[in-house]
Amino acid sequence: FSATAYARVGLVGNPSDGFHGKTIAVAVENFCATVAIHMSDAITFTPNPRCDATSGFTSLAELHGALARDGYQGGIVLLQATCKRFHEYCAERHLVLPSRNFTLSYDTNIPRQVGLAGSSAIITATLRCLLHFFEVSDEQMPLPLRPSFVLSVESGELGITAGLQDRVIQAYEGCMFMDFAKELLEGRGYGDYSRIPTATLPPLWLAFVKDPSNSGKIHSDVKARWLAGEAAVVDAMASFASLTDRAREALLAGDAAALGDAMRENFRLRRAVYGDACLGADNIAMVELAAAHGAPAKFSGSGGAVVGLSTGEEQSAVLEAAFKQHGFGFVRLVP
């Protein structure tokens, strides 16, 4: 059995998902992670030859490049941490699992460290494999709770700074509106998640840096400032939520111009709260390059890539040429 989880782009509202805000995100077919599970005598995690390479480097420079791109533990740690939390989840709920062992393997083409939710995609696909393998029903782990489970793997087990948005869109797929109000999360353990038809989406594109830094660094000290009640940060997160409401109305009305305005304001607000030094010169340059060609754009996640709108194929071609000329990657997105 194998399961796939797709990369996502945050269309409007991020990063307020980690601050009881609202977001809209889209799962995209361009990039995905796939995990496979089969029965075996002992529990085994099969290294990925690209992401978990431990031999075959032709030079120290190649070794350095691989570790800078994939980290020291690759993706195996994500599989292991998911299995640990899955056992704890089942034990806490007194779920009796079939007595069987397994081998897990994975593959992914999601670019690393550019804020496309590559880690949570691997965890989400692993969870789907475990649910199928151990015959855990939707009643035993309801869909709305699965994003919180995935987040607990990342934040609790691995210390990854993250919010719920990525895990929700990867659980539900398509295009989703998400409200992470505190009373909802604390009252029932999940937010208000509703679907927006992907047919309402204008043409989307993604530009990304080819030599990214760790996207988690982009969060800086904003969380601490928010917890301390700093008015500028608290007000900004409320504004992100308001922009998300505006964007949903624009999407449902087929108003691409209004959606673009919300995206531009989303980036402006994020820049004001986080500061240029935190956002990074390359990330800002991508948004400004899009603006120079009349296209709205904003961070697709926590940094390293931007998502934008185009009016059609002609503008997309112009944007692609411009981004590639400046050394950035560029793809047209398929929701």
Look at residue 307 in the predicted model and tell me its pLDDT.
Answer: 98
Residue pair 31/110 in contact by the 8 Å Cβ criterion: yes
pLDDT at 17 over 60: yes
Active-site entry in 107, 166, 179, 282 = 166
Gap between the Cα atoms of 262 and 284, Å rounded: 17
For the ranges 23-37, 41-55, 164-178, 275-289, the lowest mean pLDDT is seen at: 41-55
- Give the pLDDT confidence score for residue 70 in this predicted structure: 67
Looking only at the bridges linking them, the beta strands covering 297-299 and 305-309 are antiparallel
Give the Cα separation of 200 and 171 in Å (integer).
20
pTM: 0.92
Q: What is the CATH number of domain 2-196?
A: 3.30.230.10
Looking at per-residue pLDDT, the higher value among 168 and 112 belongs to 168
pLDDT at 303: 87
% of the chain at pLDDT higher than 90: 84
pLDDT category at 74 given cuts 50, 70, 90 is confident
Burial class (CB in 10 A: 0-12, 13-18, 19+), 261: middle
- State pLDDT tens for residues 192-211: 999 999 999 999 999 999 87
How far apart are the C-alpha atoms of 159 and 162, rounded to whole Å?
A: 9
Q: What does the alpha-carbon distance between residue 305 and residue 78 come to, in Å, rounded to a whole number?
A: 22
The domain segmentation of the chain, as residue ranges, is 2-196, 199-332
Q: At 301, phi and psi to the nearest 5? A: -155, -125
Which helix (DSSP H) or strand (DSSP E) does residue 227 occupy?
A: helix 222-227
pLDDT at residue 294 tops 90: yes
Question: What pLDDT score was predicted for residue 228?
Answer: 95
Give mean pLDDT, residues 89-113. Answer: 95
pLDDT at 217 over 90: no
Which of 246, 169, 207 is closest to 10 using CA atoms? 169
Nearest to 33 by CA among 87, 82, 68: 82
Torsion of CA 315, 316, 320, 326, to 10 degrees: 50
Highest mean pLDDT among 1-5, 55-59, 115-119, 185-189: 1-5
253's tokens:
């009305």
Q: Which residues contact 318 (CB under 8 A, 6 or more apart)?
A: 293
> Is residue 245 flagged as an active site residue?
no
pLDDT at 54: 80
- 52 or 255: whose pLDDT is higher? 255
Mean pLDDT of the chain: 93
- Per-residue pLDDT reduced to its tens digit, 115-138: 899 999 999 999 999 999 999 999
pLDDT tens sequence across 137-148: 999 999 999 999
43-65 per-position pLDDT tens digit:
999 999 888 878 888 999 888 88
Q: Which CATH number fits domain 199-332: 3.40.50.360, 3.40.50.300, 3.30.70.890, 3.30.1490.20?
A: 3.30.70.890
pLDDT band for 216, please (50, 70, 90 cuts): very low
Cα separation values, 197 from 21, 153, 263, Å: 21, 30, 19
Q: Residue 195 has what pLDDT? A: 97
